[in-house]
């Protein structure tokens, strides 16, 4: 194995080990269910709208549509599941 192959091999090994760590911290950066619902409740009340299950679900669906990560989508889907 020449030096370039050795470096490539070590880089792949490093990145393979890094991926689960990055995934963990990405998940950890998601707000808790209570924090998300609190933000949504404040949004609804600040808009002067009635706070009810329908308005909560509507806001959650809006956030689900623009979610960029699978973990984020799962977070919103879980919250919607709690409300229906």
- 64 close to 76: Cβ distance less than 8 angstroms: yes
d(CA 46, CA 3): 61
The reported pTM is 0.65
CA 36, CA 17: separation in Å to the nearest integer?
A: 31
Q: Is 47 left (phi over 0), alpha (psi -120 to 50) or beta?
A: alpha
- Per-residue pLDDT of 6-57, as tens digits, reads 555 555 455 555 566 555 555 555 788 999 999 999 999 999 999 999 999 9
Cα Rg for the chain, rounded, in angstroms? Answer: 20
Fold of 31-84: 1.20.5
Q: Which tens digit of pLDDT belongs to each residue from 55-80?
A: 999 999 999 999 999 999 999 999 99
């Amino acid at each position: 194995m020449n030096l370039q192959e050795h470096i490539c091999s070590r880089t792949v090994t490093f990145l393979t080990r890094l991926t689960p760590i990055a995934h963990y911290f990405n998940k950890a950066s998601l707000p808790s269910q209570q924090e998300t619902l609190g933000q949504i409740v404040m949004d609804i009340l600040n808009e002067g709208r009635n706070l009810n299950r329908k308005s909560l679900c509507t806001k959650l669906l809006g956030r689900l549509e623009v979610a960029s990560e699978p973990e984020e989508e799962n977070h919103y889907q879980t919250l919607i599941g709690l409300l229906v």
